[in-house]
Every structure is written in C-alpha cells, then in structure tokens.
C-alpha cells in the first residue's frame, strides 16, 4: 500500500510541473498575425500595399513592440494592439516580422515570426495580370461558346413546328413579329431571358418563356397568316413612319 502511495506521489511530482508550465505557456503566448488593409496579397507569401500586424496575448498585456527585420518600427499600448505599415517603405524582398509584448507584471513575451516577400508596385501589377489572364481567358471562351456561337450557328433559325417546344427551355413569342418558336437550351441565359434569334423574322432578342395561353394565341396567328400567305411581321408605329420616310425619298 505504501509503495502505491509513494509511486502516486512520484507521478504527481513529475506530471504537475509539466501541466503548470504548459498552462502558463498557453496563457502567456503572444500570437502575431498579418492582415491586408489595402493592396495585393498573392499566393506564396507575396504582398504589396498597406498591411497591419496584430497581436493577441494574455489578459494583462499592456504594451507591444513591433519589429521588421529585427528593427523596432512601432509600438502600441492600447487594445487591439496593432501596427500599420506599407511595404513600399521597404526594399523589395523577403522580410521577417515579429512582436514583443509586456505584461502588467513586466514580463516580456516574444511572438511567433512571420516572413513575407515584399513586392514592388510593378511586380505586384505583373502578378495580378498573371492571375487575371487565365480568368479572362475563361470568360472570353464562355462568351464565345455561350453567346456568339448560338448567334452564328442559329442564324436564320430552324423551321417552326406547331405545338413543339423545348421541354427544358419552353417556347417564346417574338417581340417583333409576335410569332412563336422554341427556345434553345444552347442559347445564352441572360437572367431576364434567353438571347435567341426568331426563325420567322430573324430578330435577335432576349425572350422569356411564354405562357401556354400566349403560345396558343401566337400559334393561332401563325396559322392564320400562313393560310393567308402573309407572314410579314407587324409594324410598329415607329417602323411605319420610317418606311414612309424612306419611300418618300424616291417621289418627285
């Protein structure tokens, strides 16, 4: 029994100091972080512009000094402890940053170290261009495929078949000739409608999916016009006046 008690005391004596030291270490840890206020913060630790060093530490932290490349650059005695700087004030290249905090008990705590590559304005601009080129390339490719492609390859459209519309995209009524046609799934979706060319009059327009009643009325007009042999689009007042003006030019 005495042996067990003795072993227990030995274990406590070896373990307790470690627990205490660890707890003190966690409480007294000074953590340094870097935040971008305005500028470029690329991949691989490249930065350019205005940044702030910030620290978090024990509750009794009262004063913090901030260092860049081992040189004191600023201090703060009020929470949140931070220091703002601009990378342009330093030579381009890799720089190290750390902070030193002081507690109310006059204990000194050194933070972790952060290393970043300070870029010049020209190098940062070049890095931004390198990042944007692939993105712009993808946008242009999507534009060519999604917008120009359907416009070019659907020029003139397909023959309309009565009552047959795309199950997914539905049908539309042309805003110019008021005739129905099926919306294509390949046509670009511009949120308010699909950009598509009317197979009847050739007008390119952004059209929404029409209701069943609107399609029925448009089909009735299409059938009537086809029976009368006239599929001319209805003229607006503006178009009629313009046609009259154009015709008057040739009158004596």
Q: What is the CATH number of the domain that holds 86?
A: 2.60.40.10
CA distance linking residue 54 with residue 117, whole number of Å: 18
Q: Which sign does the torsion angle of CA 146, 151, 157, 162 carry?
A: positive
pLDDT confidence band for 9 (50 / 70 / 90): very low
Residue 29 φ then ψ, to 5°: -70, 135
User: Using only C-alpha atoms, what is the Rg of the chain?
Assistant: 37
Smallest CA-to-CA distance from 160 within 174, 175, 176 is with 174
**Strand ranges (DSSP E) for the chain?**
31-41, 46-56, 61-68, 71-76, 82-86, 93-103, 108-110, 114-118, 171-173, 180-182, 194-197, 204-207
Q: Reply yes or no: is the peptide bond before residue 80 cis, omega within 30 of 0.
A: yes
**Range in 21-35, 110-124, 139-153 with the lowest mean pLDDT:** 139-153
Q: Last residue of some domain: 105, 124, 143?
A: 124
Q: Are residues 68 and 118 part of one domain?
A: yes
The pLDDT-based confidence of 121 (bands split at 50, 70, 90) is: confident
pLDDT band at 6 (very low <50, low <70, confident <90, very high): very low
Q: Is residue 65 part of a domain?
A: yes
147 and 195 in contact (C-beta within 8 Å)? yes
Q: Is residue 242's pLDDT more than 50?
A: yes
Would you say residue 249 lies in a domain? no
54 has a pLDDT exceeding 80:
yes
Task: Report the domain count for the chain.
Answer: 2
Q: What is the pTM of this model?
A: 0.48
Structure tokens at 237: 């007042």
pLDDT tier, 58 (very low <50, low <70, confident <90, very high otherwise): very high
Cβ 218 vs Cβ 177: under 8 Å: no
Residue 240 lies in a domain: no
In the listed set 82, 106, 124, which residue is the last one of a domain according to the structure?
A: 124
CB count in 10 Å sphere of residue 45: 13
Q: Domain boundary at 124, 146, 177, which?
A: 124
Question: What pLDDT was estimated at residue 232?
Answer: 52
For residues 231-247, average pLDDT: 62
User: Please, which pLDDT band fits residue 89 given cuts at 50, 70 and 90?
Assistant: very high
Give me the mean pLDDT over the 5-17 stretch: 40
Range ranked top by mean pLDDT from 51-55, 117-121, 159-163, 246-250 = 51-55
Q: Please tell me whether residues 167 and 220 are part of one structural domain.
A: yes
For 173-191, write each residue's pLDDT tens digit: 999 888 998 888 777 888 8
Cα(144)–Cα(186) distance, rounded to whole angstroms? 12
Distance (Å) of CA 54 to CA 28, 49, 96, 111 = 16, 16, 14, 11
Using pLDDT thresholds of 50, 70 and 90, give the confidence band for residue 109. Answer: very high
Assess if residue 194 is contained within a domain. Answer: yes
Measured between alpha carbons, how far is 189 from 166 in angstroms, rounded to an integer?
15
Which tokens sit at 79?
């929470």
Residue 67: the pLDDT is 98
- Give 251's DSSP letter: -
Residue 147 pLDDT exceeds 80: no
Domain containing 84 equals 31-124
Residues 170 and 93 in one domain: no
The answer to whether residue 129 is domain-embedded is no
């Amino acid at each position: 029994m005495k042996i067990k008690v003795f072993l227990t005391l030995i274990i406590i004596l070896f373990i307790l100091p470690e627990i205490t030291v660890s707890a003190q270490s966690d409480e007294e840890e000074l953590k340094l972080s870097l935040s971008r206020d305005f500028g470029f913060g690329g991949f691989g630790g490249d930065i350019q512009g205005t940044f702030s060093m910030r620290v978090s530490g024990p509750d009794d932290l009262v004063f913090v000094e901030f260092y860049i490349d081992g040189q004191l650059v600023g201090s703060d005695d009020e929470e949140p402890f931070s220091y703002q700087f601009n990378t342009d004030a330093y030579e381009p290249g890799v720089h190290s940053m750390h902070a030193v905090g002081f507690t109310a008990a006059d204990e000194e705590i050194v933070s972790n170290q952060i290393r970043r590559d300070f870029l010049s304005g020209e190098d940062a601009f070049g890095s931004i261009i390198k990042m944007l080129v692939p993105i712009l390339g993808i946008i242009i490719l999507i534009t060519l495929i999604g917008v120009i492609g359907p416009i070019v390859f659907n020029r003139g459209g397909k023959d309309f078949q009565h009552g047959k519309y795309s199950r997914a995209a539905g049908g539309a009524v042309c805003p110019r000739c008021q005739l129905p046609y099926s919306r294509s799934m390949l046509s670009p979706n511009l949120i308010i409608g699909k950009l598509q060319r009317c197979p009847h009059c050739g007008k390119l327009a952004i059209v929404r999916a029409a209701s069943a009643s609107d399609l029925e009325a448009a089909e009735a007009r299409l059938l009537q016009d086809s029976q009368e042999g006239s599929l001319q689009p209805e003229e607006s007042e503006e178009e009629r006046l313009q046609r009259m003006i154009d015709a008057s030019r040739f009158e004596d």
